[in-house]
Amino acid sequence: MARTSKKRGKPSEPDPAFVERLERAKAASVAQLLFKCARLLNEQALARLDQPPGAPRIRPAHTSVFPHLDLAGTRLTELARRLGISKQAVGQLVDELEQMQVLERVPDPSDGRAKLIRFAKHSGASLLDGLAHLGRFEDELGEEIGAQRMAALHDGLGALLAALEGRGPS
């Protein structure tokens, strides 16, 4: 970092309007924080599960499914609608989670075409235990940064999400 270099005459680059635009471009601070946090949070949360390296692992995309699952079971199409992605994409996620015995598909008694997707109530589902453990992770972080801040974060994110959903997709 030995910036012993030259600055002859001019003080580098004065250009004021340029610098302003530039600072603007750099200033996506909340968005940047959001990204980094999301990335790190996912990363570390999943690292906690320390799953076998070779076998199919639970990946970030999988976790997004859980909050949309009803206890009684939810249809694939409904899941796709809630997640805002294609049925096929959900199907793949469910396939993998089923293989890991985290979820299970049962035929919908009220519709022969449909299947209900729900948590497997399989006793050996240690992965599900691991997932539950992830809730703890959040609690820990809450302790670390303070419950109040965590609550504010929850509130702010909720509002932000509402604002975002309110504009984009229309």
Partner DNA sequence: CGAGTTTGTCAAGCATGCTTGACTAAAATT
Partner DNA sequence: AATTTTAGTCAAGCATGCTTGACAAACTCG
Q: How far is the CB of 155 from a second copy (least distance, A)?
A: 7
Q: How far is the CB of 149 from DNA (least distance, A)?
A: 27
Q: Is 97 in the site for a second copy (CB under 8 A)?
A: no
Q: Which residue has 């229309």 as its token pair? A: 170
Tell me the CA end-to-end span of the chain in Å, nearest whole number: 50
Q: Which residues pair with 104 in a beta bridge?
A: 118
Q: What pairing do the DSSP bridges indicate for beta strands 103-107 and 74-75? A: unpaired
CA distances from 137 to 119, 130, 134, 146 (A): 21, 11, 5, 14
Where does this chain touch DNA (CB under 7 A) — which range of 26-34, 82-90, 123-131, 145-153?
82-90
Name which of residues 131 to 170 contact a second copy (CB under 8 A): 131-136, 138, 141, 144-146, 149-150, 152-165, 167-168
Query: Where are the strands (E) in 8-125, listed by range?
Result: 74-75, 103-107, 115-119
Q: Read off the tokens for 116.
A: 């209900």
Name which of residues 23 to 82 contact a second copy (CB under 8 A): 24-38, 40-45, 47, 60, 63-64, 66-67, 69, 71-72
Q: How far is the CB of 16 from DNA (least distance, A)?
A: 27
Sheet holding 74-75, edge to edge: 74-75, 115-119, 103-107
Report DSSP state, residue 68: G
| Residue whose CB is less far from DNA, 3 or 10 | 3
Number of residues forming the site for a second copy (CB under 8 A):
78
Of these, 54, 112, 124, 166, which contacts DNA (CB under 7 A)? Answer: 112
Contact call for residues 69 and 119 (beta carbons, < 8 A):
yes
Which residues contact DNA (rule: CB under 7 A)?
A: 57, 59-62, 64, 75-78, 85-89, 91-92, 94-95, 105, 108, 111-116
